[in-house]
Amino acid sequence: MTDEDVNAAKQRLDNDLALLHQNNAIKFGEELFLEFRKRRWFTIEKFGACGTTLFASDFPAYQTTHLAVCSWDVPATEYRVR
């Protein structure tokens, strides 16, 4: 992916998230996930079962409140917000 592709994907994602409430999960394609990670756009945050602190563990997060996961069922350069 070029820098322009990655920045465009980030802008689309930011626009999509602005329309939704916090605490959404984002499934990233493998290549896009790696690009976001390389640019340090993820932080490590605690997420628990059913949005609570129950069984909380550290996971990658985007904008601190959105769980970020790499998924093979999403095309390599795309994302899905759930």
- Among the ranges 17-26, 37-46, 52-61, which has the highest mean pLDDT value? 37-46
Residue ranges per structural domain of the chain: 3-81
> In the chain, pLDDT over 90 holds for what percent of residues?
78
CB 33 within 8 A of CB 42: no
CB 61 within 8 A of CB 55: no
Query: Rounded to a whole number, what is the distance in angstroms from the first to the last CA of the chain?
Result: 24
Per-residue pLDDT averaged across 4-16, rounded?
97
pLDDT tens readout for residues 46-74: 988 776 677 889 999 999 999 999 999 99
> What integer best gives the mean pLDDT of the chain?
92
